[in-house]
Amino acid sequence: MSAEETRASVQRQLFLRTMSVARPAGGSTEALAKMMRDVFFPAGSKLYSQGEPPEDIYFIVSGSAELRAPDVPPVSFDDRSVLGVMDMLQDIPHARDAVAVTDVRALAIRTEDWLELLEDNFEFSRSAIVNISESSQGIGKELGDAAGFAEPAGGEGEAPPSRPLNVVERLLVLRALPAFARTRIQALTSLAEIASEVRLSPGEVLFREREPQAAIFAIAIGSVELVSETPAVRARFGPRSLVAGPAAFAPTAGYTASARAPSVLLKIAREDLFDVMEDKFEVARSVLAFLATERSRLGMLRARLPPRS
């Protein structure tokens, strides 16, 4: 590598370490920087068009761009933003046009290279999951009740069985979660086997706001309510839903969760979950697709908010 190439790689690594949602981790920073290329888009030009396959991901170094589509508010992106990654993670064509509002300088990487890095370097996958979940939690807190995190509640009248849930029953609960929708039975079985059972009485607290989240929780029977005081948020989650939705993978709880009815939950320790993801990338890929879908939905809700005075 020439001196100029080395200098460019170091500059890219320094830039990548300032990212939020797509910030790489550990040795993946250097690998990602080597795969990137410099691109330039003059004001008014398109980075990509609605309906095109997501072939590239763009890290904006300078300038401003917008995602645009008919009948929906534009979403603005400035320095240190990433364009194209959410569509790619959902494995869908671009949902909107990406248009340069000003001249845009960016770093681009092919989506297949980005996915390959995710699979080969689990710390990168883990970092992406945590960062997107934290971002979703932050936007959810900003939106308050309008975030719509909760799944249909229901199931409050069902009495939990006196016996523990068996592996098949655990498997059915996990299979119903959108976060694991793309996971095959073998991997789901691994998750069901490491899950432990938590039983809550009405009013019993599962976790409190600002506590470290050492596990994720899936509701098998009953109902759990999330509450945050500032801003005011009150959301209910019912059977076969993931408590806190896309915020479940953030390292710190943004809400206090407590049972509204007698409830049975499956608890998967955070580190055990990441161990399964490292061994079976499809689990990480499924969670990333779920998080990308929710993060995109929250971004659209935030774009519809009236401007702050």
At 227-258, the pLDDT tens digits run 987 777 888 899 999 999 999 999 999 999 99
Asked whether residue 62 is assigned to any structural domain, the reply reads yes
User: What is residue 3's predicted lDDT score, i.e. its pLDDT?
Assistant: 62
Residue 174 pLDDT > 80: yes
Asked whether residue 104 is assigned to any structural domain, the reply reads yes
Domain that holds residue 24: 3-120
Asked whether residue 93 is assigned to any structural domain, the reply reads yes
Query: Residues 20, 137, 286, 268: what is their CA dihedral angle, to the nearest 10 degrees?
Result: 120
Q: What CATH number should be reported for the domain holding residue 233?
A: 2.60.120.10
Residues 277, 233 share a domain: yes
- Mean predicted confidence (pLDDT) in 10-32: 63
Residues 140, 97 share a domain: no
Residues 18, 75 share a domain: yes
Asked whether residue 127 is assigned to any structural domain, the reply reads no
User: What is residue 22's predicted lDDT score, i.e. its pLDDT?
Assistant: 54
Residues 226, 110 share a domain: no
- Which residues does residue 186 pair with via DSSP β-bridges, in sequence order? none
Asked whether residue 136 is assigned to any structural domain, the reply reads yes
Q: Regarding predicted confidence, which is higher, 30 or 2?
A: 30
Q: List all residues 6 or more positions away from 89 whose beta carbon is below 8 Å from its beta carbon.
A: 288, 289, 291, 292
Residues 169, 270 share a domain: yes
At 114-164, the pLDDT tens digits run 899 888 888 889 989 999 999 999 888 888 777 776 655 555 667 788 899
Asked whether residue 139 is assigned to any structural domain, the reply reads yes
Compute φ and ψ for 278, nearest 5 degrees.
-65, -35
Q: Regarding predicted confidence, which is higher, 116 or 1?
A: 116
Comparing C-alpha atoms, which of 116, 129, 148 is closest to residue 276? 129
Comparing C-alpha atoms, which of 263, 250, 241 is closest to residue 209? 250
- Angle at which helices 122-143 and 270-279 pack, to 10 degrees? 130
Which H helix or E strand runs over 188? helix 185-194
Residues 8, 110 share a domain: yes
d(CA 168, CA 170): 5
Choose one of 90, 120, 150: the last residue of a domain.
Answer: 120
Q: List all residues 6 or more positions away from 291 whose beta carbon is below 8 Å from its beta carbon.
A: 89, 129, 132, 133, 136, 179, 246, 249
Residues 219, 144 share a domain: yes
Predicted model pTM: 0.87
Choose one of 120, 143, 165: the last residue of a domain.
Answer: 120
Choose one of 62, 94, 120: the last residue of a domain.
Answer: 120
Comparing C-alpha atoms, which of 264, 290, 48 is closest to residue 160? 264
Residues 217, 281 share a domain: yes
Residues 165, 38 share a domain: no
Which amino acid would we find at residue 264? V
Asked whether residue 108 is assigned to any structural domain, the reply reads yes
How many structural domains compose the chain? 2
Residues 85, 53 share a domain: yes
Residues 182, 34 share a domain: no
Asked whether residue 159 is assigned to any structural domain, the reply reads yes
Triad 59, 61, 63: Cα angle to 5°: 110
Residues 241, 218 share a domain: yes
Indicate the range of 70-74, 211-215, 272-276 predicted with least confidence: 70-74
